[in-house]
Amino acid sequence: MSDEKKPTPQPSVTPSPSVKAPASPAQPAKPAIAKTSAISRRAFVVGALGASTLLAVAAFAPPSLPSWNILNPLPPTKEGPTLVTSWNTLDTKYKNAVSAGNLYSPSDYSEFFYFPYPVTASPYYKNVITRLPDPLVNPLVSSSDPNYSILSKVAAWNLTCVHLRCIVNPGYAGNPGSGEFRLQCPCHGSQYRLTDAVPVAGPAFDLGLLPLPRVKLSYDSATGNITATDLDGTAGVGRTD
Ligand code: FES
């Protein structure tokens, strides 16, 4: 007898003719995922995170970084009285606008300035000074002021809208024929009377909000210079007088 092991015969498995192996259905070709879109999403997320980090840092940046100061939550350091312009400058611009028939473009005869904060401060502290169109006068200037004849013809307001703090357009929303001139906010249409900055239309009026803060002025008759000396009210809140 041979020791050689014989291989164990394996039963042959033949598929039953009645049981068919399921034919694998043709898989629809999966659309190739555009790699560029995944990269775009990632880039977007990374960019958004980076931007929010920058904003968070900028919000607490020291005032020594003027270009970031727009996000500073605290008012910057106040400056003292500021020379704004001269009566002659305002009056000449006004008269040129009148002769050009352009009374509704106050940029022809207005000045925009920052007071009482430096020009590097947030635009929320930006103010406008204008020579009022004749025969309008500023009702907030006392008739007993020795320079009434000049200062009553000048108005200076903070430009931060008391509704939701957009910057009021220093261009007028004039009402031709009515003799009334207004400052208008570009965001929701609040309008402020030019002579006293009281809201007369739009949400600032509907909600009974306060007039724009007033820049108090002094006039030097020797030089003709007009200086901003104080701010009556709070930017974005208004004044109470
Ligand atoms: S922010 Fe000026 S009208 Fe709304």
Ligand 1 atom closest to the CA of 203, numbered from 1: 3
| pTM, two decimal places | 0.69
Residue nearest to atom 4 of ligand 1 (CA): 188
For residues 162 and 88, state if they share a domain: yes
Query: What's the pLDDT band for 139 if we cut at 50, 70, 90?
Result: very high
In a domain, 114, yes or no: yes
- Amino acid 84: pLDDT: 95
- Of 131 and 177, the structure prediction assigns the larger pLDDT to 131
Q: What is the CATH number of the domain that holds 92?
A: 2.102.10.10
For residues 167 and 70, state if they share a domain: no
Query: Could you say which DSSP state residue 121 is in?
Result: S
| HSE (side-chain half, CA atoms, 13 Å) at 197 | 32
For residues 120 and 184, state if they share a domain: yes
**DSSP E strand boundaries for 94-206:** 110-114, 126-131, 154-158, 169-172, 182-184, 191-193, 199-201
Of 15-19, 79-83, 90-94, least confident by mean pLDDT is 15-19
- Amino acid 129: pLDDT: 95
Ligand 1 atom closest to the CA of 185, numbered from 1: 2
- Amino acid 79: pLDDT: 87
- Determine the distance separating the centroid of ligand 1 and the alpha carbon of 3, expressed in angstroms: 105
- Determine the distance separating the centroid of ligand 1 and the alpha carbon of 166, expressed in angstroms: 6
- Determine the distance separating the centroid of ligand 1 and the alpha carbon of 195, expressed in angstroms: 19
CA dist., res. 165 & res. 114, Å (int) = 16
In a domain, 10, yes or no: no
Q: Residue 90 contacts by C-beta under 8 Å, 6 or more apart in sequence?
A: 109, 110, 111, 129, 130, 131, 154, 226
Q: Which of 158, 159, 160, 161 to mutate to test the pocket of ligand 1 (most atoms within 8 A of CB)?
A: 161
For residues 114 and 209, state if they share a domain: yes
Please count the structural domains in the chain.
2
For residues 66 and 90, state if they share a domain: no
Contact (Cβ atoms closer than 8 angstroms) between residue 133 and residue 175: no
Q: Residue 20 contacts by C-beta under 8 Å, 6 or more apart in sequence?
A: none
For residues 143 and 66, state if they share a domain: no
For residues 192 and 113, state if they share a domain: yes
Domain range for 57: 50-75
For residues 118 and 65, state if they share a domain: no
In a domain, 134, yes or no: yes
CA dist., res. 145 & res. 142, Å (int) = 5
CA dist., res. 130 & res. 176, Å (int) = 18
For residues 203 and 105, state if they share a domain: yes
